[in-house]
Structure 1
């Protein structure tokens, strides 16, 4: 079923309203989440001289912006929730852009890496090719995109006031390749558990150097 523009706007508005209404509990509930494995997966594949220019896509309250900055990199955040943007700016003093994922305005070829941790799954599947092309365009040639999404069987819809699309590896890979990326690695999280207890699919992708 194709979503028409008013439906897409409603999806985005309702999801962002949920995050704005629950910004403080979300910050407290995720403050101590250990995503060092994901940060390291992005950084080790970047072929550039540090410090790296990193776009934290869906930066939320700024936890990972702060981590990238502490490692010496130049991190910029983008998020569609006004309260998250305010929190991230205050917490990190980084540049943070307020942009709806369905209405992005990103600079061309600015970033060495894009860190999309638990964010791209909010993009409806029909809009995902366009959003991925925009992320491809904001990367420098040879740049790297990391994504981590809750995985599923390619279903999408509403869960707890938020819209989400839950891709398996095959479908996610097809979207990424069609957007012009090639895979560097993928893994499931949390590490060390049986696959049925690993709800997160993490993957790392490169924009060709000649692109």
Structure 2
């Protein structure tokens, strides 16, 4: 049975949920650009919602959001912020079919083991409605490894990501851009931003 998560990484977020929630950055430039692609009131699944800042922003804009996180402790942090239940959902547990206009997965799929990412992307493709949009971000690199906090990262190249997405399903568009940012470990990293649209 596939699990599509790393136990040590999940344990980090379970043990540091409050500190991570306090640190989390609330920048919505990319999120706003994503939301502009969706119809008013669109159904959105957020994977890895963390402390719930992005879900709160989407809900405030009138979208029908399903916030989820793989860590019960992080889900609890988000629930406190949002004033509503937040589900604990691991990526490999996603089994919805054509339910969402958008899937938002900021800074979470980067923890999926490399040999499991393709299967997770296929599940997300299936969960999207035809023409639906999907955003995810990754820390770029040349292969899997751990940061100084022992969190696992798949550290993909752009070419490797394009292959995995191509195997997951048919997309009408696939765009990747990059920038530099600093994470919770205070280490600068190249962030790869992937925005795709499911073929209609």
Looking at structure 2, the residues matched to 171 and 79 of structure 1 have their Cα atoms a distance apart, in angstroms, of: 25
- Structure 1: give runs of 5+ residues left out of the alignment: 192-196
Q: Quote the Cα distance in structure 2 between the aligned partners of 1:57 and 1:29.
A: 19
Counterpart of 1:20 in structure 2 is 14
Paired with 1:10 and 1:28, the residues of 2 have a C-alpha distance of: 26
Rounded to whole Å, the distance in 1 between the matches of 2:132 and 2:26 is: 26
The number of aligned residues is 192
Where 1:107 maps in the other structure, the secondary structure is coil
- TM-score scaled by length of structure 2: 0.87
Give the drift of 1:90. Answer: 1.9
Match of 2:56 among 63, 66, 70: 66
The change in CA–CA distance for 1:123 and 1:169 in structure 2 (over 3 A counts) is: same
CA RMSD of aligned residues (A): 2.1
Q: Distance in 1 between matches of 2:177 and 2:4?
A: 33
Aligned position for 2:161: 172
> Which of structure 1's runs of 4+ aligned residues deviate more than 4 A?
8-11
**TM-score with structure 1 setting the length:** 0.83
Asked whether the 8 Å contact 2:49–2:67 carries over to 1, the reply is: yes
| Contact in 1 for aligned 2:4/2:113 (Cα 8 Å) | no
Structure-2 residue corresponding to 1:201: 192
Structure 1 pair 188–198 and aligned structure 2 pair: CA distance change class (3 A)? farther
5+ residue gaps, structure 2, are: 182-187
